Amino acid sequence: MMKNIDPFLLTILGLIVPGLLTGVGAIPVFFTRNVSQGKLDVFLGTAAGVMLSATCFSLILPSIEENGGGFRGVLITSLGIFAGAVFLDLIDKYSPHEHLLDKRVEGNPSDSLKKIWLFVIAITIHNFPEGMATGVGFGGDSVANGLPIAIGIGLQNMPEGLAVALSLVRENYTVKKAFLIALFTGLVEPIGAFLGYGLVTWFSPILGFILAFAGGAMLFVISDEIIPETHSNGYERQATYGIIIGFIIMMILDVALG
């Protein structure tokens, strides 16, 4: 089925669409302000499972193969994973950082609004390396490697977009303005995606390391950002099953797309 689609068109869509899905995720804010925390956590958990599966099968395993396999391939891939994780850790350490899925700051309303804007800025910054991971996936030898990454990141962007929009509406922003701000947080992702694609194209001799680097960055995001977020509101068990189901779904899709 995928062979009947123009690879160039597929690549362009894969680089752009995941970022736009942040805005798609915010669309429900036009109809309701009451989305249960449990549903958000399950959705985000499922997205984390999809991202984890895509990272394993579309970045890390191709990296080992690209690096020649065997002990040497595993060693280079391991170094790349660690480097990618450290890179994201540094971004995380020196950039605004707030977790916010339906959380409010008690007391002064200005404190709540400040926390929300820190969250918006943090999501915007973290979307850039996620976009790079998508670009790296599509920049490899097979377009099919990029599709699972794009799907996983796109699914993860949707509940984030909804969380941003809901939080801003509750702070008396208009629905339209809240939606546009949520959409904006995802627009940096295509920029990162095209940069990641360019890096692979320009530095093809070290494609294996770049794939591993992107894999390490994604593992850090999943472990440090997404999973803790889904386990902090009392819906840990539901979110855990969401992660498992998401992993299985993406594993099946990866085989089908391959």
Is 56 a member of any domain?
yes
Is 7 a member of any domain?
no
Is 19 a member of any domain?
no
Domain, as residue range, for 96:
38-257
Is 182 a member of any domain?
yes
For residues 160 and 137, what is the distance between their CA atoms, to the nearest angstrom? 22
Structure tokens at 173: 């922003």
Helix or strand run (H / E) with residue 88: helix 70-93
Is 73 a member of any domain?
yes
Say which residues have a Cβ less than 8 Å from residue 165's Cβ, sequence separation at least 6.
26, 29, 175, 178, 179, 181, 182
What integer pLDDT is reported at residue 141 of this predicted model? 61
Is 215 a member of any domain?
yes
Is 25 a member of any domain?
no
For 121, other C-beta atoms within 10 Å of its C-beta total 15
| Digitized pLDDT (tens) for each residue of the chain, 258 residues in all | 455 666 677 788 888 998 999 999 999 989 877 777 888 888 888 888 988 998 898 889 989 998 998 999 999 999 999 999 999 888 878 765 555 444 444 444 555 566 666 667 767 777 777 788 888 888 766 677 788 888 888 888 888 888 888 878 877 888 999 899 989 988 888 998 898 888 877 877 788 898 899 899 889 988 988 888 888 888 899 999 999 999 998 888 877 766
If one counts the domains in the chain, the total is 1
Is 229 a member of any domain?
yes
Give the residue from 161, 130, 155, 126 showing the smallest Cα distance to 253: 155
What integer pLDDT is reported at residue 102 of this predicted model? 45
- Number of residues assigned to the chain: 258
Cβ pair 139, 200 in contact under 8 A: yes
pTM of the model: 0.77
Say which residues have a Cβ less than 8 Å from residue 20's Cβ, sequence separation at least 6.
183, 186, 187
